[in-house]
Amino acid sequence: MSIDDIKGPFGAPVPKSQEKTQLLHDELNLFDATAVAVSSVAPAYSAASTLSLVLVIVGVGAYGPSVILVSFVPVMFVALSYFHLNRRNPNCGASYSWLSQVVHPAVGWYNGWVQIASSVIFCTSAPLLAGIYTLQFLHLAFNAVGPNAYGNPHDIAVVAAIYLAVVTFICIYGIRWTTNAQWVMVCIEYFAVIGFSIGGIIKVWVSHPVHSVSFHLSWFNPLHIASFGALASGLALGVFFFWGWDTALNLTEESKNSSKIPGQAGLISMWLLLAVFVLNFVAIEMLLGPTAAAAQGANVLFYFGQQFAGTWASYVMIFAVISSTVATTQTTLLPAARITYAMARDGVFPKIFGSVHEKFKTPAVGTLILAFLSLFGIMLTTLSSSSNHVFQNLVNNIGVLVAFYYGITGVACAWAFRKTLGQGLRANLAMIVAPFLGGIVLLFTCFEVIKLNGRAAIPDIIALGLGVPLVILAWASTHKKRSFFTQPLVAYTSIEDDVVVPLPAGRKFD
């Protein structure tokens, strides 16, 4: 590979002296990137952790599929913004880098912080669910642990820490190892979720089990949802369901044809995930009935498998949830390490996050630090009941943080391409109109959910508010050494890929 083939932020060639600090280039193809994207979303984990909550929130309970459809539209519009912004600036920092380039570096930094905070929160909570399901599996299948083990916070924390350590090691060891692991876990998860969902629907049609219900098209009508507030809360949960497809965009510097393949993977994964989620929701509601499904909590997939084919199927579903949870933990830690790497590379985050392992070509130290923060969260929530309560509110409303950073990226895309208005209807719809509408809907959802949840939303307000002093601290500690916060903005003046106009420099952060 020649030096001209290696590009840094904003397409600038990387000096030869800095090549050793770069991530591994041209490693992932479209299938790899798509596998990582769909694995990041993890349907089995999402259903196990959130499906029953969706059914409770939307009111009567039968209209879960409508929440998925309503959530899909704005997130898909934002996925278009990721695709088009990545075409112009393929960067592992993704929305952090794009917003820094086209809106303001401070806005980009703040959005990067929200993503990092979301990732650490998730990497604290997801291994705990994997711990619960693992201990439950060991007890039911092998009687290897006592009946109270999967209710013991300390036992759960130990298993969660082991899972976190394993995925951290794989993330550090290399992007190819990570992707291969994702392929394995994707196959396990999707075989179980898709296969059992189809089987459950067929069982209802053939034998009409007790408590099963017939399919109704009205399940897809969001007008049946109890209230506008319920719709907003359901939308936030639906955004959480789809969260993770953008991991492919954080691996752009490690992908082949980096300006196209990661964005394509994100769009493809969205349609695949929509089909899987709708199929799974419909199957669960048909076989169990909405009321029973809503009452199961995190055991909904276990109970679904049991009602579908007996004990062996419930064990398969437990294993699928474990696989899904471990996979999504790994693919949440993965992009967080790339975002902090990109920020450190720009000189606006601690330098240690910008180091790359010379052999593995991964941001090893940054990955370890983020993993230790998540481990600290696991220990804190295990040892302190008050911390656990606050953290649980954060987890329940993590869709607010996700909707925020998706939403602001959608609006930023419309702003970046504003000078292309009139150059083509289809292009303008995809680059300006759809991203703007998707962004506004998601930002409004954040506002509504925070307003409705009252005190329960305080942790989210703190997480969002903490970014303000942090971005000021980043500016104060770097403004004499770097020009990051006063660099010129750019605007795209053509729908083609090669036209950029720099805007005047000399802006002040304060």
Q: 13-40 pLDDT, tens per residue?
A: 454 545 556 898 899 999 999 999 998 8
Pairing of strands 500-502, 490-492: antiparallel
Is residue 25 in a domain? no
pLDDT at residue 11, as a whole number: 47
**In the chain, pLDDT over 70 holds for what percent of residues?**
88
Write the pLDDT tens digit of every residue in 155-180. 999 999 999 999 999 999 999 988 99
pLDDT at residue 7, as a whole number: 46
Task: For residue 81, give the CATH number of its domain.
Answer: 1.20.1740.10
**DSSP-assigned beta bridge partners for residue 502:** 490
**DSSP-assigned beta bridge partners for residue 490:** 502
**DSSP-assigned beta bridge partners for residue 357:** none
Q: Helix-strand-coil percent breakdown of the chain, rounded to 5? A: 75, 0, 20
147 φ, ψ (degrees, to nearest 5): -65, -20
Is residue 439 in a domain? yes
Enter the tokens of residue 20. Answer: 């050793």
Question: What's the CA gap between 397 and 179, in Å, rounded?
Answer: 29
pLDDT at residue 418, as a whole number: 94
Are 96 and 111 within 8 A, CB to CB?
Answer: yes
pLDDT at residue 59, as a whole number: 53
Provide the number of structural domains found in the chain: 1
155-to-159, 325, 380, 503 alpha-carbon distances in Å: 6, 17, 14, 56
The band of 8, judged by pLDDT with boundaries at 50, 70 and 90, is very low
Write the pLDDT tens digit of every residue in 44-74. 888 887 776 666 655 545 677 888 899 999 9
Give which of 39, 75, 68 is closest to 283, Cα–Cα.
Answer: 68
Write the pLDDT tens digit of every residue in 452-508. 877 777 878 888 999 999 999 999 887 666 678 888 888 898 888 765 666 655 444
More confident residue, 52 or 125: 125
Beta carbons within 8 Å of 440's beta carbon, 6+ residues apart: 407, 410, 411
Question: What's the CA gap between 343 and 93, in Å, rounded?
Answer: 7
255 φ, ψ (degrees, to nearest 5): -105, 155
Write the pLDDT tens digit of every residue in 324-335. 999 999 999 999
The band of 92, judged by pLDDT with boundaries at 50, 70 and 90, is very high
The band of 234, judged by pLDDT with boundaries at 50, 70 and 90, is confident
Are 37 and 245 within 8 A, CB to CB?
Answer: yes
Is residue 24 in a domain? no
pLDDT at residue 222, as a whole number: 84
Is residue 11 in a domain? no
Beta carbons within 8 Å of 188's beta carbon, 6+ residues apart: 319, 320, 323
**DSSP-assigned beta bridge partners for residue 492:** 500
Please check the confidence at residue 208 and state whether its pLDDT lies above 80: yes
The band of 344, judged by pLDDT with boundaries at 50, 70 and 90, is very high
What are the DSSP calls for 414-445, one per residue? HHHTGGGTTS-HHHHIIIIIHHHHHHHHHHHH
Sign, CA dihedral 308-311-316-321, equals positive
Please check the confidence at residue 266 and state whether its pLDDT lies above 60: yes
Is residue 402 in a domain? yes
Are 107 and 100 within 8 A, CB to CB?
Answer: yes
pLDDT at residue 502, as a whole number: 62
Domain boundaries, position 45? 30-502
Question: What's the CA gap between 75 and 85, in Å, rounded?
Answer: 15
Is residue 333 in a domain? yes
Question: What's the CA gap between 319 and 191, in Å, rounded?
Answer: 11
Beta carbons within 8 Å of 93's beta carbon, 6+ residues apart: 9, 100, 108, 112, 250, 338, 339, 341, 342, 343, 346
pTM: 0.90
* Burial readout 250-269 (b: 16 or more C-beta within 10 A, e: otherwise): bbbbbbeebbbbbbbbbbbb
Give which of 376, 282, 369 is closest to 47, Cα–Cα.
Answer: 282
Is residue 12 in a domain? no
Write the pLDDT tens digit of every residue in 384-406. 766 666 656 666 678 889 999 99
pLDDT at residue 40, as a whole number: 87
Name the average pLDDT for the chain.
86
Most confident of 117-121, 223-227, 495-499: 117-121
Write the pLDDT tens digit of every residue in 403-424. 999 999 999 999 999 999 989 8
Question: What's the CA gap between 430 and 413, in Å, rounded?
Answer: 10
416-to-55, 371, 451 alpha-carbon distances in Å: 38, 34, 30
Write the pLDDT tens digit of every residue in 280-304. 989 998 999 877 887 787 788 889 9
The CA-to-CA distance between both ends of the chain, in Å, stands at 42
What are the DSSP calls for 62-88, one per residue? TTHHHHHHHHHHHHHHHHHHHHHHHHH
Enter the tokens of residue 499. Answer: 């036209």
Is residue 14 in a domain? no
pLDDT at residue 509, as a whole number: 45
Q: What is the mean pLDDT of residues 10-15?
A: 47
